[in-house]
Amino acid sequence: MSIFAPASFAQGPTSQDVDRAQLLQGQTQPPFGPSVTPGGIEDGRAAASPNDADIGQQEILKRVTGYQPFTASLACPIFYTSNVALTRSGELSDVVIAPVAGVFYDPRITNTLYGHFGAREQVFYYGQYHSFDFGSLDAEAGLSYVLPQFHNLILRGEYDFNRLTFGDRLGDEFFSNHELIFNAELPFRFSRAQQLSVGGDTNISVGADHQRPRRNDYEGYLGYSVNLTRAFTINAVGRVVARDYHQNGRTDVSEILSATATYRLTNWWSVSAISSFAHNDSNQDVFDYNVANVGGAIALSAKF
């Protein structure tokens, strides 16, 4: 029997239950939100620009004729995870199926200011250790602002409500959290198909129904993306995250590496290979762990 069987929640969720949910969610959800960058790439294609006549023929990227603020998406990652319970020793491995659905509205308010409103639900089903199954619902709203005069610096602010449930039982909640997210990202474009991004996040929990798993995250990251062809994209990200828990004096530092290769079969259908590795060091040794995930995903997405 799993050490995180539902009966163990009688005294409230453990921090590892919530950590596991947030770690997997962050590494398996596709980027449903607005993907227009200051360099003019939208979903791996060159966005229309008044200067297009001066660029000449685009050999790799095709033009997007107009901005489409609505997105509806379905995806299903399937992956192997090496450490189901995020334990220091005695690791259990399993296969996870994690279907996710999302709807988003990202209005362009000005040429440099975008809104963001969205909702998504993802359920994680474990192949062998079913007591680990959980669902995650997010409702989010925010703004993104681009500063062209500062090397196209991107500033983002967002409110996110996250609700975790046992399996797919949407009424059986074990944790909910209200969070404010602040992000700054500086892109460096090497060509119309390559970009390096340096950024930082601050995630502040402003309210939660259980205090032991509640935490603030402070993150720095370096990301690289390249469109090798019109349809094939590779993304790689390295992150360092400091996690400050609200109770028990616990502080963790996590290093996370992830890579994704995506092939777009059509404008609305894509397949991906996904992988990640996370190493966690805590000032309380019992929370140290390593975990690797590798698998694939299929996604359907419509923009309008």
1 lies in a domain? no
**Whether pLDDT at 26 is above 80:** no
pLDDT at 238: 96
Lookup: tokens for 150:
């500062």
On whether residue 292 sits in a domain, the answer given is yes
- Over the stretch 193-213, which tens digit does the pLDDT of each residue have? 999 999 999 999 999 988 888
pTM for the structure as a whole: 0.83
Residue 220 covered by a domain:
yes
Q: Which of 56-60, 77-81, 170-174, 202-206 has the weakest average pLDDT?
A: 56-60
204 found inside a domain: yes
- Residue 184 falls inside a structural domain: yes
Number of domains in the chain: 1
CA pair distance 195, 224, nearest whole angstrom: 6
Q: What is the pLDDT of residue 241?
A: 96
Q: Name the pLDDT band for 10 (thresholds 50, 70, 90).
A: very low
- Among the residue ranges 1-15, 185-199, 206-220, the one predicted with the least confidence is 1-15
What is the CATH classification number for the domain harbouring 280? 2.40.160.40
Residue 20 lies in a domain: yes
> Does residue 100 belong to any structural domain of this protein?
yes
- Tell me which residue range forms the domain holding 132: 6-303
Q: Is residue 45 part of a domain?
A: yes
Residue 110, burial from CB neighbour count under 10 angstroms (0-12, 13-18, 19+): exposed
> What's the pLDDT band for 29 if we cut at 50, 70, 90?
low
Q: Count of CB atoms within 10 A of residue 35's CB? A: 15
Span 254-279, average pLDDT: 96
For residue range 244-259, list pLDDT tens digits in order: 999 889 999 999 999 9
